Amino acid sequence: MALHISEPNSRVPADSAPTSRPAEPGSSLAAIRRTLDIEADGIKALHAALDGPLGPAMEAALDALFGARGRVIVTGMGKSGHIGRKLAATFASTGTPALFLHAAEAAHGDLGMVTADDVLVALSWSGETAELGEIVRYARRFSVPLIAVTSRPESTLGKAADILLALPKVTEACPNGLAPTTSTLVQLALGDALAVALLERRGFSASDFHVFHPGGKLGARLLKVRDLMHEREMTPLTQLGTPMADVLIEITSKRFGCCGVLDGSGRLVGIVTDGDLRRHMSGDLLARPVETIMTSSPLAIAPGEFASSALRILNRRQVTVLFVVEDNVPVGIVHVHDLLGAGVA
């Protein structure tokens, strides 16, 4: 079996190359709208195709990808290769082990990356990309399941596939009908749909997502309160009945501008803040027991909650600290500066 390029590329002599012409006023925005309209029609065509053979084929592809004992190997050339790289990255970041195999490099030793436990996903709009030939032959020889993503079911790649994901015929947004535009968008959308369906089938949670995204803004959003809180020994706490003189010492030494108040069982029942001090300022303040000054039912959060949830509470209630509790027993404290410093937003 041999894959071939249906139409060889030709080079245009430099002296005969077309020259660009300035766009007429208003035509650029019209081109932008036309491009978006054409590409939107491509996505609609892909959605409609699910009512035909593509729907059952997608289910079969999901079964194969979900059941793979090894990895998902994605391959392609040119613009299809770029889409393939993104698809492999999305699979890998959402719980499906995957990598991208460059079709041209495969024949020079990289086929060793592929095992019989893997599933191969090959993208080619025409289905006749020459560089895919060695990968397809390797898959057939070693019984590696092959999922083909192409617009031509009758192509060499389409006929070789175990599972054919036949893309609908679409109009390229390029006015010359040459630059891959709508076609690559449709490939990208199909890949995203597969990845999201797999994510849901695996029950992949936001906590799982954080394992693969520890860095950057996304990683910060997925941090848990326990990752940023100050431990119990750093948390300002006192008992019911404690004189305010001792409470002020605790507030000053721990430097959070507040103090939690515990009952006899060690549960958090109140908080003393600088606002409480101002409201109860009097000559006998230092001698008064803390329960006469404190605010009952202070805000708190569990250590397993997302740090972003803690920041939302702080912003909504316009406070700067939250006690971190388990069964209403303090295990730590988190300050708004801890969250902002970690990039939580």
Q: CA dist 310 to 89, 121, 218, 302, 343, Å? A: 30, 42, 16, 9, 13
- pLDDT at 1 > cutoff 80: no
Q: What is the pLDDT of residue 279?
A: 93
Q: How many residues does the chain have?
A: 345
Do 268 and 298 form a contact (C-beta atoms < 8 A)?
yes
Residue 9 confidence class, pLDDT cut points 50, 70, 90: very low
56-69 pLDDT, tens digit per residue, is 999 999 999 999 99
- pLDDT at 215 > cutoff 70: no
The reply to whether 31-204 and 225-341 are identical in fold is: no
Arithmetic mean of pLDDT, 38-59: 97
Select 225-341's CATH number: 3.10.580.10, 3.30.70.20, 3.30.1330.20, 3.30.950.10. 3.10.580.10
Please provide the average confidence, as pLDDT, over all residues in the chain. Answer: 89
Q: What is the pLDDT of residue 214?
A: 59
Instruction: For domain 31-204, give the fold.
Output: Rossmann fold (3.40.50)
- pLDDT at 11 > cutoff 80: no
Spatial CA neighbour of 128 closest among 4, 286, 314, 279: 4
- For the chain, the domains span 31-204, 225-341
Residue 89 confidence class, pLDDT cut points 50, 70, 90: very high
105-130 pLDDT, tens digit per residue, is 988 889 999 999 999 999 999 999 99
Secondary structure tally for the chain: helices H, strands E: 14, 13
